[in-house]
Amino acid sequence: MKRLMLGLAMLAGVAGLTQAAGNAERGEQYTQTCVACHGADGNSAAGNFPKLAGQGERYTLKQLQDIKSGERVVVTMTGLLDNFDDQQLADIAAFYAAQEKTVGEADPELVALGEQLYRGGNPETGVPSCAACHSPTGAGNDLAGYPMLSGQHAEYTALQLNKFRLGYRATENSDNVRVNDGESRVMRTTAFRLKDFEIEALASYISGLH
């Protein structure tokens, strides 16, 4: 049953994604306003801005579309995507997907718990394995639109998990919550069941995962 539900969630994610084919070379010219926060190659220097380098095209494209439409609220990006059409957004996604990501270093004291949660979840509290959707190496599943997590800043990962957790009971979207994980609410449900120290361990482990 769990496998069936996971399969249906994956199919729903694929069905909801725009199939525009991106051009990485063309996309580079559209990223000039992105450099200040995300770096020239998508490897941001600040932990509160996500690394985009190597991220799957489908996932990045969906996030760009959601931010533009207001489905996902990111105050620092307000209005920045208004003049881009879907093809240009697809080109941007393709550019970042073609870049090589950098990998951080996990806190040695948090690795054991982080790995346990990432690979096996927490059966007692109903937290599923992250590896099931994001792969054991954190490479993600681009076909299903599940993001690559490997090497992401621990600060950013923890921030997003907390936003999903708040989004579990949110009645409307805001910059403090995330509700753009689809009708299945996979991330909101998962994050809601995570304790603060588990989020810290997971985020640290993911930063060094490769």
Instruction: Assign 92 to helix, strand or coil.
Output: helix
What is the predicted pLDDT for the residue at 58?
98
DSSP 8-45: HHHHHHHHTS--PPP-HHHHGGGGTTTHHHH-TTS--S
Q: What is the mean pLDDT of the chain?
A: 92
Torsion of CA 106, 109, 113, 114, to 10 degrees: -10
Domains in the chain with CATH codes: 16-97 (1.10.760.10), 111-207 (1.10.760.10)
Q: Letter for the amino acid at 200?
A: E
The predicted-structure confidence for 56-106, as pLDDT tens digits, reads as follows 999 999 999 999 999 999 999 999 999 999 999 999 999 999 999 999 999
Q: Which residues pair with 122 in a beta bridge?
A: 127
Instruction: Assign 5 to helix, strand or coil.
Output: helix
The predicted-structure confidence for 10-28, as pLDDT tens digits, reads as follows 444 443 444 569 999 999 9
- Residue bearing the bigger pLDDT, 116 or 15: 116
Q: pTM (2 decimals)?
A: 0.89
What is the predicted pLDDT for the residue at 15?
39
